[in-house]
Amino acid sequence: MEYRQLGNTGLALSTITYGAFAIGGNMWGGNEQNDSINAIHASIEQGVTTIDTAPFYGFGLSEELVGKALVGKDRSKVQILTKFGLVWDGSNAGKGTYFFDAEENGKAIPVYKYTSKANIIKEVEESLTRLRTDYIDLLQVHWPDESTPIDETMEAMASLIAQGKIRAAGVCNYDLQQLQTAEKTIALASNQVPYSMLNRGIEQAIVPYAQQHNMGIIAYSPLERGLLTGKYFNGATLANNDHRNGYFGQFDAEKVKALIATLQPIAANKQVSVSQLVLRWTTLQPGITIVLAGARNAQQAVENAGAMNVTITNEEMQIIAQALRAF
């Protein structure tokens, strides 16, 4: 495994980071908790020291599973990245900016973006309890909240750093203007944004800004939630309540199939999977610090970590670049 410094911090994170969205179950057709814990253990055994989660993932379940999986582990050797700012129940339900309706047990649950100072303090304490730890390595705004001034949110995170509750502050899904506004108050460690072979929009402005300001880029959905594995073109199916039934519809299926057809012989020649090739390609792109990869079981976790052993030649990078011109 390779480790990279995150922006302006002293955090050295594993280039492949365990993404804990799917193990929360909601929006992903459920989960098997023992498999999820085994996946985290297998990741750590393979050198994946960094775990990215959030309160919203499974309405707290993802954080709880991460906390449970880390019992008995050396906390100083694992970096926990979590988030705040999505609310759905309790005293803050309905506050902030309406986001969307999530689903749990067939019931629609309205989710709001809410990043007020009071809510940040509340959420951090809840996360610390679920994660069974007394500090968070990187705390991130999950989504921009138009109802709360950005400086209020950043001031609250600066206060949490001073208190030792968090080691570094980051954001997710911030555009260029939001980053510039935030950095008037605090030097951000990172911006977590979607990035994949099919979605390279951040290359235009976000990546250059990050490079100029010593800010890390955390890439999520590098496999487009499994689409770039190719398995959903070969008979794999999704549960009815899996959000990917709709998510995959944004892509041109024939173009994606053609891309996978280009990637398959390259991967086969290296005796690796297409997903490993895609993950490794993502880690090699300019400005990308770490890449999130989810795993529901130990086998997937080992495969994800193994992506770092893949070597891609300049000629192969050019072949891939040519194929990506279709997007």
Could you report the per-residue pLDDT of 163-174, keeping only the tens digit for each?
999 999 999 999
Q: Determine phi and psi for 272, rounding to 5 degrees.
A: -130, 170
Determine which one of 57, 195, 209, 220 is catalytic. Answer: 57
Give the amino acid at 248. Answer: F
pLDDT the model gives residue 225: 81
Residue with tokens 């911006």: 191
Q: Provide the Cα torsion 215, 206, 170, 98; round to 10°.
A: 170
pLDDT the model gives residue 296: 86
Q: What is the mean predicted confidence (pLDDT) over 28-35? A: 68
Show the DSSP H helices in the chain as ranges: 33-45, 61-69, 117-131, 150-163, 176-182, 206-212, 244-247, 253-270, 274-283, 298-306, 314-324
Q: What is the CATH number of the domain that holds 109?
A: 3.20.20.100
User: Which stretch of DSSP H or E encloses residue 3?
Assistant: strand 3-5
| pLDDT surpasses 90 at 310 | yes
Query: Would you place residue 28 in the very low, low, confident or very high pLDDT band (cuts 50, 70, 90)?
Result: very low
pTM of the model: 0.93
Q: What is the mean predicted confidence (pLDDT) over 101-106? A: 80
Query: Would you place residue 102 in the very low, low, confident or very high pLDDT band (cuts 50, 70, 90)?
Result: confident
* Tally of domains within the chain: 1
DSSP SS3 for 40: helix
Q: Determine phi and psi for 92, rounding to 5 degrees.
A: -100, 5
| pLDDT surpasses 90 at 75 | yes
**In angstroms, rounded to a whole number, what is the distance separating the alpha carbons of residues 288 and 59?**
29
pLDDT the model gives residue 235: 63
| pLDDT surpasses 60 at 27 | no
Active site residue 174: no
pLDDT the model gives residue 226: 79
Could you report the per-residue pLDDT of 84-99, keeping only the tens digit for each?
999 998 778 889 999 9
Q: What is the mean predicted confidence (pLDDT) over 122-129? A: 98
Domain that holds residue 194: 3-324
The 10 Å Cβ neighbour count of residue 321 is 11
Q: What is the mean predicted confidence (pLDDT) over 63-75? A: 95
> Among residues 288, 277, 264, which one has the least CA distance to residue 200?
288
| pLDDT surpasses 70 at 271 | yes
> Among residues 305, 298, 323, 292, which one has the least CA distance to residue 225?
292
| pLDDT surpasses 60 at 123 | yes
DSSP SS3 for 20: coil
pLDDT the model gives residue 73: 95
| pLDDT surpasses 90 at 269 | yes
| pLDDT surpasses 80 at 30 | no
- Average pLDDT score over the chain: 92
Could you report the per-residue pLDDT of 178-214, keeping only the tens digit for each?
999 999 999 999 999 999 999 999 999 999 999 999 9
